[in-house]
Amino acid sequence: MIAGIYTLVILGGISYTMERTLNDYHLTVVEFLGIYVILAVSLALTNSFTGLFSLGHPAFMAIGAYISAILTFPPIRKAIMMPALPHFLANMQLPFCLAVIIGGVIAALSAFIIGFPVLRLRGHYLAVATIGFMIIVQVLITNMNSLTRGPLGINGIYPYTDIWWVYIWVVVTVYTVWRVLNSRFGRAMLAIREDEIAAESLGISLTYFKLFPLVLGAFFAGVAGGLWAHLVTAITPSSFSLPLAFLLVVMLVIGGKSITGAIIGALLIGIVSELLRPLEMATQMYGLTQIVTAIGLLAILIKKPGGIAGSKEINLVSLYKSLKVLR
Amino acid sequence: MRRVLVVGFVLVSMLLVFGGFGYAGGVIKIGALYNLTGEMSSIDAPALNGVKLAAKEVNEKGGVLGKKIRIIAIDTKTNQKECATAARQLLSEGVVAGIGYGDTTYVLAAAPLFQKKHVPFITSGATLPELPKMIGNYMFLVPFGDNVQAYAMADFLYKDLHVRRVIIWTNKATDYTLALSKYFKERFTKLTGKKSILLEDFFQTGDKDYSAQIARVKALKPQPDALFISSIPDDIGIIVKQVREAGIKQPIAGGDGYDTPLLVKVPGPKLANDIYYTTHQAWDNPDPVVQNFIKNYKRMFGHEPENAFAALGYDALMLVVRAIKRAGSDNPAAIRDALAKEKGYHGVAGTISYKNGSRVPQKAVAIMKVEQGKIKFVKMVMPNM
C-alpha cells in the first residue's frame, strides 16, 4: 500500500517536472509512450496471461477514438461535418473524461459480441476473428460517410489529452491489470494459458475466463484510442490498422510475459524510433529507424527468447526496501 | 550485452553531435514533412527532392536576407501519429515555415499544429480545395484544388472534344476521387444541363472486376460521348484495360491520379488509347523554367523527376523564399502575410497567385493525352471559376 503511494507520488512528480520543463514535442513523445504502455499492458491480458492471440486492439482503439471524438466535438461543427448524426448525439458535447470512458465501454461491448461466439472454439480462431473484426470496423467507418466523414476522417479534434490524463489512465490500467492478475481471475487465466483441459477439469469456465480478459483489454484499448484521438487531433479509418496490431505484439514479445515486460517493451519501441530520428535526419538515410528496430528485435529474440523481463515482475516493496526508502 | 551498450552509446553520442549542428547562427530553418517510407513514398520522396533542389539553388546564390536556408526534413512513415509528433518537433526547433505532403490525410494531422503556433504550412501536393478553410489562415496550397482540375477537364471535354453526354465512375473509398467527381459533375451539368450525365456508378480501391459497370454502360441508349472515371493511381490501369477490352471506344477522362506509369503499363500500348487527364506539369513543356528544372534535378539526383510532385515541392520552397524576401524578415507571421500577397510566381508547375484572400492558387491545368501508349501534352487550360 505504502509502496503504491510512493510510486504514485514519484510518477506524479516526474510528470509535473516534465510538464514544467519539456517542450511541446518531448511532452508529446512522453504522452505517446504512456498510451503505448496502456495498450501493451491491456493487450498482455489476453496475449501474455491467457494465451489468447488477439490482434483486435486497433479495432477497439478505432471504436474508442471515433466515439469519444464524436462525443467531445462541438455541436456547431457537427452540424456541418456529420449531418446524419441522430439528434441527441448532434446536440451533445460531453466532458473529455466521460467521452473517453464511454468510448472504452462501447469498445468493450463490441469485444463481448465478437468474443462470445469465437472464444468457445479452441485454437487460433481468435487471431483470425479479430483481424476480421478490424477489417469490418474499418470498412464501416470508411462507408458511414455522414457519421464518420468516411476516408477523410475527423479532424480538428480538440487536443484535450495532456500528460495528466495519460498519467491517470496509465496508473488505472496498470493497477487494474495487476489486481486482476493477483486474484482468482488472474490465476484462472494463467491456468488456461498453461493447459486448457486441466484448467477446465478444475472447474474453470473456459468461455468466461477467456472472455473476461478480452473485454477488459478492449475497454482499455478503447480508452487509449480516445486519448490518441485527442492527442493527434485527426483520425482516419487507416490510423488503426494491422501494422499497429503487430507493433503492439512486438512490444509484448521483446518485453516478456509480465506487466513489467509489457511496460518495458512499450517504452523501448516508443523511445527507439524517436531517439534514432535525429540520426536519420542527419544522415539522410530515411528508413534507418525501421531497420535498427528490426535488428534490435532479432537480437533480443536470439539472446533472450522470453523477452527482456521474461515472466518476472518488479516487486515494488522489495525495490523500495533495497533503496532504504521503506523498512 | 556490453557490446550492445557500446553501440547504443556511440549511436546516441552521434545523434547529439549531429543534432548540435542545427544551432549554428545565420540560417533560416524550414521544416519539411514527408512520408519517405511506406505507401505514400512514391509521391512524397520526389517532392522532398524538389524541396532540396530549390534550397540548394537558393543557397548557391547566397541565400536569402544574407542567411542560408536549412531544410529540416523528417520522415513520417505514412503514419498520422508520426505526423503529429514530427510537426511538434519541427515547431520546437523553431522552423519559420513548414512544407509537406502529397495527400490531405497527413496534412490534417500536421498542419493544425502549425496553425496553432502561427507558423505557415504549405502543402506541396494535397489538392483538397477546402483545406485552408478547414485549418486556418496559415495554410497554403501549391497545387490547384480538385475543383480547378475537374472544371478544366469538363471545359476541355465540352469545348475541345464536343462531348455532350458522359457517364461518371467514382472510387467511393477516397476523398480525392469523391471530390473530383463532385466538381466535374457540377461544372459539366452547368455547361450542358442535368440530362447530360447518363449514368453514375461506383467502385472501390482494389476492385479487380468491372464487368458489371461495363455492362451498364453498354446497355445505355444513347451511348455516352466520353467516360469520366475518377480513380487513384492503383486502379486506373486495370479499369482502362477492361473498358477497352469490352469494346468501349469512347474517350476516357480523369484527374491527376492518372499521372502514373501504370496507366500505360497495365493495359499495354494498344489498349491505352484516347485517354485524357489533367496534371500539374508536362515535362515536354518547352518553357525554360521547366527544362532547367529537369536538367538540375538530373544533375543533383542522377535521374529525371519521377512525377509532378517533384516540381510542386520545388515551387513550395521557392514560394516561401520569395515571401521571406518580400517580408524582409524571417518572422513566421510576416512570412504568412507576404505569402498571402503572392502575385505571379512563375514556377515549374505553373504560375501561382493567391487572389482575393484565397490560399489555393488559381493556376493553369495541364491536359495530357494518351495515344497508342504515348503520353502527349495537349494544352494548358485555365478554367473560369
| Long-range interactions of B130-139: CB distance < 8 A, separation 24+ | B131/B104, B131/B107, B131/B360, B132/B358, B132/B359, B132/B360, B134/A155, B134/A156, B134/B108, B135/B107, B135/B108, B135/B111, B136/B112, B137/B336, B137/B340, B137/B359, B138/B111, B138/B114, B138/B332, B138/B336, B139/B111, B139/B114, B139/B115, B139/B359
Q: How much of chain B exceeds pLDDT 70, in percent?
A: 94
Are A275 and B12 inside 8 Å of each other by CB?
A: yes
Domain B27-144+286-354 has CATH 3.90.550.10: no
pLDDT tens, residue by residue, B194-228: 888 999 999 987 789 999 999 999 999 899 999 99
Within a domain: residue A200?
A: yes
**Where does CATH 3.40.50.2300 sit in chain B?**
27-144+286-354, 147-279+366-381
What are A129-183's pLDDT values in tens digits? 889 999 999 989 988 878 888 877 888 888 898 889 999 999 999 999 999 999 9
Kindly report, residue by residue over B301-335, the tens digit of the pLDDT: 999 888 889 999 999 999 999 999 999 999 999 99
pLDDT at A122 over 80: no
Contact list in A for residue B92 (CB cut-off 8 A) is 23-26
* The dihedral sign for the CA sequence A131, A132, A135, A136: negative
The residue among B98, B84, B134 whose CA lies nearest residue A230 is B84
* Widest pairwise Cα distance in chain A: 62
Q: What is the pLDDT of residues A8-30, one digit of tens each?
A: 888 888 888 888 888 888 899 99
Cis ω for the linkage preceding B222 (within 30 of 0): yes
CATH of domain B147-279+366-381: 3.40.50.2300
pLDDT at A289: 81
**CB contacts, 8 Å: B173 with chain A:** 142, 150-151
pLDDT > 90: percent of chain B: 61
Least trusted range by pLDDT, from A193-202, A206-215, B256-265: B256-265
Q: Please state, in angstroms and rounded to a whole number, the distance separating the CA atoms of residues B308 and B348.
A: 9
Inter-chain contact B175–A151, Cβ cutoff 8 Å? yes
Write the DSSP string, B224-251: PSEEEEE--HHHHHHHHHHHHHTT--S-
Quote the pLDDT of residue A149: 84
- Report yes or no: B119 and B110 within 8 Å, Cβ to Cβ: no
Backbone angles phi, psi at B174, to 5 degrees: -125, 150
Q: What is the pLDDT of residue A12?
A: 86
Q: For residue B202, what are the β-bridge partners?
A: B170
Interface of A with B in 68-97 (CB under 8 A): none
Contact B352, B283 (CB under 8 A): no
pLDDT, position B3 = 59
Query: Which residues in chain A have their CB less than 8 angstroms from residue B85's CB?
Result: 25, 28-29, 32, 274
Please, what is the average pLDDT of chain B? 88
ipTM for the whole complex: 0.81
Q: Per residue in A198-237, pLDDT tens?
A: 988 998 888 889 899 999 999 999 999 999 999 998 898 8
Give the C-alpha separation, B261 to A261, whole Å: 47
A-chain residues near B113 (CB < 8 A): 233
Total domains present in chain A: 1
- Give residue B10's pLDDT: 56
A298 in contact with B at a CB cutoff of 8 Å? no
- Those residues with Cβ within 8 angstroms of residue B141's Cβ, 6 or more apart along the chain or in another chain: B122, B123, B126, B127, B129, B131, B132, B359, B360, B361
The pLDDT score that the predictor gives to residue B259 is 83
| Cβ B210 vs Cβ B242: under 8 Å | yes
Q: Residue A236 is nearest to which of B19, B36, B105, comparing CB atoms?
A: B105
Residue A238 in contact with partner chain B when CB distance is under 8 A: yes
- Residue B37 is nearest to which of A277, A282, A286, comparing CB atoms? A286
pLDDT at B24: 45
Taking a contact as any Cβ pair under 8 Å apart, which residues of chain A between 115 and 144 contact chain B? 142-143
* Interval B237-248: pLDDT, tens: 999 999 999 999
For B37, the closest of A283, A287, A299 (CB atoms) is: A287
Cβ of A290 within 8 Å of Cβ of B104? The answer is: no
What is the structure's pLDDT at A99?
A: 94
Residue A327 lies in a domain: no
**Residue B328: alpha-carbon gap to chain centroid:** 29
CA–CA distance, A116 with A302 (Å, rounded to integer): 37
Q: Tell me the pLDDT tens digit for each residue of B14-66.
A: 554 444 444 445 899 999 999 998 878 888 999 999 999 999 999 999 999 99
> What string of DSSP letters covers B206-225?
T----HHHHHHHHT-SSPPS
How many other C-beta atoms can be found within 10 angstroms of the C-beta atom of residue B62? 10
Looking at the complex, report in whole angstroms how far the Cα of residue B91 sits from the nearest Cα belonging to chain A.
8
Residue A42 sits in a domain whose CATH number is: 1.10.3470
Give me the phi and psi of B346, to 5 degrees please: -85, 90
